[in-house]
Amino acid sequence: MTNMYLNDEEYHCLSKLDAREIIKRRYKYVHDELEYGIDVFEGELEELIMAEIECETEQEFERLRVPSFALKEVTGEEFFTGGNLAAITRGEFEVGLARWLCE
């Protein structure tokens, strides 16, 4: 799996390759003086919105609290990895999400 930020020409060239893809738009969002990357997914994963924050150290990560705008913390959850999300259908996503939210 690779994350790449592409210009229009690069996208046009790479879009011809056979690959699984995730389409999302990333927005910057500041909450309680912390900057999050907010990913709004499209296509098969429409309605999924994930927030990401970068931590320099394990201690910094451990001090973080789930922000009020988030349902759950998903760090380390295989279901939410890009490789998994790119490989599942909408139906599989809905079933997996419902199962995960009930845990």
Q: Is the whole-model pTM more than 0.85? A: no
Read off the pLDDT of residues 23-60 as tens digits, 9 standing for 90 and up.
899 999 999 888 999 999 998 899 899 999 988 888 88
Q: Alpha-carbon distance 57 to 22, whole Å?
A: 28
* Identity of the amino acid at 6: L
Q: Alpha-carbon distance 2 to 72, whole Å?
A: 25
Instruction: Please say whether the beta carbons of 50 and 74 come within 8 A.
Output: yes
Q: Alpha-carbon distance 28 to 38, whole Å?
A: 6
SS (H, E, C) 29-55: EEECCEEEEEEEECHHHCCCEEEECCC
